[in-house]
Amino acid sequence: MQQQKIIILDFGSQTTQLIARRLRELDTFCEILPYNKFPVGDPDVIGVILSGSPFSVHDPEAFKVDLTQFMGRLPVLGICYGAQFISHTLGGRVEKADSREYGRAHLETVDTSNPLFKDFDQNSQVWMSHGDTITAIPDGFEVIGSTKDVTNAAFWSPSPLGEGRDEAPVFAVQFHPEVFHTLQGTLLLKNFVVDVCGSRQDWSPANFVDTTVAELRKLIGSDRVILGLSGGVDSSVAAVLLNRAIGNQLTCIFVDHGMLRKNEFRNVMKDYEGLGLNVIGVDASQKFFADLAGALEPEQKRKIIGRDFIEVFNEEAKKITDAKWLAQGTIYPDRIESLNITGKVIKSHHNVGGLPKEMNLKLCEPLKWLFKDEVRRVGRQLGIPEHLIGRHPFPGPGLAVRILGEVTPEKVRILQDADDIYIQALRDWGLYDQIWQAGAILLSDVRSVGVMGDERTYENPVALRAVTSTDAMTADWAHLPYEFLAKVSNDIINKVKGVNRVCYDISSKPPSTIEWE
Ligand code: XMP
């Protein structure tokens, strides 16, 4: 049986990915596609969701979709702009709201006999965020939910093309069911995908592993595959999954660029060997340090590391002369063709390896449909130890982007020691799993005065960063206990030669980013 799916058409809202995450939590597979890329004719699609958007339907550049591609044949749910677009296109009216409707509201009337609101409480809290409001709904539609200020907060038509035609319903909600503050939002989405669209809810880690292993065997046959390991969760899970499918036909390459955490290369190699993976470890640190000498700018450093990485990886990969495939731990958020309205690049991200073109390798990305939390669930299903699965994300360029300015082996040593004290303490205090990511940053261009014993010191500060997040798109600084910070500060200053001051970074993303460079 084929994999059922819901299509989420993206009109550029910041919460589009959240809709997808909620559906996946309902064990339902879904794909986010640009608003104008509906896969006409795909028999596996069981429903369509139209996302929000930064545009007003009246903006000349507003994104538009041809509703006739699916309306009436497949159930549709329009969210915020999606709802406004449905109303505007089908003959309703959308007008500028007197004031932006933003924040909590309550569904003072809600039709619980409607399939979308089955089991809903009266007065349920919802989250509004829109500048336009729907002042008239199209003919044939009926209001099924209202708040104090928004009469047409939810409406539907059981047969949008008119009775007797294809009869898949259309629903539209002004509020955002995908955000946490809509307290029964997941129930609404469940009612839509399960009751209305008929999701079998069979998207589970066990199911994913079984079907992917079978598909990989079929795809790869007796070919040889190369995979670049980074020590992170994604490439590790991809490797173990492939290993389960094709065993020793898989060769993994793990490049040490010299800017990993303290003892990370050794420990991770041991873990990989314990998992039965066939891994080649390459110590290329000298090359990276030599090429980074004199590089000061973050983007310049990132570019050098990215280039060196590909060179070293390719050099190793070439030795496996009969390889036909390059496998990568790419995950879904890396690939979603999100509508970046501004089109600006903040940082160039480098992940493991680039496709060695002259080798003519085919690309294999077994995790390409998974969100991070799903990768972790699949990893657990595969029996990967918890300390590997629960590991914080770590940037491809490693400590190089946590040493401000030029990178040298000595600075890396200092930062590794400070970072190690910090991370170990987070584990000892039971805080590690409560945060998304933590690390130390060496402010190597800054020196300040201190005193140790009777001696004056003139050394560098270290900044500690810890953030909470669900996807690294936004993040808040973690409110770590003062006693913890006091102990870590003390230990770092006493034990790490070269550091005489410790600061804690209390910036959120945005406007700051998680990494300092
Ligand atoms: P920023 O600093 O942009 O980081 O807020 C967001 C997330 O991405 C990680 N990061 C990287 N990951 N290669 C990676 O694989 C990179 O070049 C890179 N730069 C940043 C960062 O650690 C955080 O989790």
Phi and psi at residue 163, to the nearest 5°: -60, 145
User: H-type helices in 320-406, by residue range?
Assistant: 332-335, 372-381, 386-389
Question: How many A from CA of 513 to the centre of ligand 1?
Answer: 9
What burial letters (b/e) apply to 433-459, b meaning 16+ CB within 10 Å? eebbbbbbbbbbeeeeeeeeeeeebeb
175 touches 127 (CB < 8 A)? yes
What does the buried/exposed string (b/e) look like for 133-161 if buried means 16 or more CB atoms within 10 Å of the residue's CB?
A: bbeebbebbeebbbbeebbbbbbbbeebb
Q: Does 350 have pLDDT greater than 60?
A: no
Residue 70 shares a structural domain with residue 146: yes
Instruction: Provide the whole-model pTM.
Output: 0.85
Using 50, 70 and 90 to split pLDDT, how confident is the model at 334? confident
Mean pLDDT of 158-180: 90
CB 402 within 8 A of CB 415: yes
Q: Which of 196, 214, 231 is the last residue of a domain?
A: 196
Alpha helices in 159-204 (DSSP H): 185-190
Give the per-residue pLDDT at 508. 94
The pLDDT value recorded for residue 472 is: 83
Number of compact structural domains in the chain: 3
- The answer on 187 and 49 residing in a single domain is yes
User: Which CATH number goes with the domain that contains 40?
Assistant: 3.40.50.880
Question: What CATH number has the domain bearing residue 241?
Answer: 3.40.50.620
pLDDT for residue 429 is more than 70? yes
pLDDT at 355 over 60: no
In this structure, the answer to whether residues 77 and 156 fall within a common structural domain is: yes
Mark whether 358 is an active-site residue. no
Strand (E) or helix (H) holding 495: helix 482-495
- Residues 471, 367 within the same domain: no
Q: Is the pLDDT of residue 353 over 50?
A: no
Q: Is 395 in the pocket of ligand 1 (CB under 6 A)?
A: yes
The catalytic position among 30, 101, 130, 178 is: 178
Average pLDDT over residues 60-86: 97
330 lines ligand 1 (CB under 6 A): no
Residue whose Cα lies nearest atom 19 of ligand 1: it is: 395
Q: How large a percentage of the chain has pLDDT more than 70?
A: 95
* pLDDT score recorded for residue 161: 87
pLDDT at 167: 87
**Residue 495: inside a domain:** yes
| For ligand 1, mutation pick of 257, 347, 441 (most atoms within 8 Å of CB) | 347
With a 6 Å cutoff on the Cβ, whether 100 touches ligand 1 is no
34 and 165 inside one domain: yes
**Domain boundary residue among 177, 196, 215?**
196
CATH code: domain of residue 441: 3.30.300.10
Query: Whose alpha carbon is nearest atom 20 of ligand 1?
Result: 395
Residue 510 lies in a domain: no
The rounded distance, in Å, linking the Cα atoms of 269 and 266 is: 5
354 has pLDDT over 60 = no
Task: Look at residue 246 in the predicted model and tell me its pLDDT.
Answer: 98
Structure confidence at residue 14 (pLDDT): 86
Query: Of these residues, 31, 88, 130, 176, which one is catalytic?
Result: 176
With vertex at residue 392, the alpha carbon angle to CA 325 and CA 243, rounded to the nearest 5 degrees, is 30
pLDDT in tens, 452-466: 988 999 999 999 999
Beta-carbon contacts of residue 190 (< 8 Å; ≥ 6 apart)? 26
Q: Is 172 in the pocket of ligand 1 (CB under 6 A)?
A: no
Residue 345: pLDDT band (50, 70, 90) is low
Residue 131's pLDDT is 87
Tell me, using a 6 A CB cutoff, whether residue 93 lines ligand 1. Answer: no
Q: Look up the domain containing 492 and give its range.
A: 408-504
**Alpha-carbon distance 228 to 280, whole Å?**
10
Asked if pLDDT for residue 356 goes beyond 60, the answer is no
| Residue 92 reports pLDDT greater than 60 | yes
Tell whether 313 and 443 lie within a shared domain: no
Portion of the chain with pLDDT greater than 90, in percent: 86
Are 246 and 138 found together in one domain? no
Write down the pLDDT at residue 395: 94
- Each residue's pLDDT tens digit, 470-514: 878 889 999 999 999 999 999 999 999 999 999 999 999 989 999
Please check whether residue 179 lies inside any domain of the structure.
yes
Same domain, 277 and 315: yes
- Confirm or reject: Cβ of 350 under 6 Å from ligand 1: yes
Q: How many residues does the chain have?
A: 517
Q: What pLDDT score was predicted for residue 102?
A: 83
Mean pLDDT of 162-184: 91
Question: Is residue 509, in this structure, part of any structural domain at all?
Answer: no
- State pLDDT tens for residues 99-114: 777 889 999 999 999 9
Q: Which residue's CA is the closest to the ligand 1 atom numbered 3?
A: 513
Whole-number Å distance, alpha carbon 62 to ligand 1 midpoint, is 31
Q: What is the mean pLDDT of residues 365-375?
A: 93
Mutate which of 334, 394, 515 for ligand 1 pocket (most atoms within 8 A of beta carbon) = 515
One domain for residues 327 and 459: no
Kindly report the protein residue whose alpha carbon is nearest to atom 18 of ligand 1: 395
* 303 part of a folded domain: yes
Q: Is residue 70 part of a domain?
A: yes
161 shares its domain with 118: yes
**Burial letters for 101-129: b for 16+ Cβ neighbours within 10 Å, e otherwise?**
beeebbbeebbeebbbbeebeeebbbbbb
Tell me, yes or no, whether 515 lies in a domain: no
> Does the Cβ of 13 fall within 6 Å of ligand 1?
no
Active site residue 178: yes
Ligand 1 centre and the CA of 349: distance in Å? Answer: 7
Pocket residue to mutate for ligand 1, from 349, 350, 367, most atoms within 8 A of Cβ: 349
Residue nearest to atom 17 of ligand 1 (CA): 349
Same domain? For 97 and 182 the reply is yes
Domain-ending residue, one of 196, 219, 245: 196
**494 CA to centre of ligand 1 in angstroms:** 30
Distance 238 CA to ligand 1 centre (A): 19
The dihedrals phi and psi of 327, each to the nearest 5 degrees, come to -100, 145
Q: What is the pLDDT of residues 255-278, one digit of tens each?
A: 999 999 999 999 999 999 999 999
Centroid of ligand 1 to alpha carbon of 501 (angstroms): 26
| Protein residue whose Cα sits closest to atom 11 of ligand 1 | 395
Q: Is residue 416 part of a domain?
A: yes
Which ligand 1 atom sits closest to the C-alpha of 436?
A: 24
Q: Is 384 in the pocket of ligand 1 (CB under 6 A)?
A: no
Is the domain of 16 the same as that of 155? Answer: yes
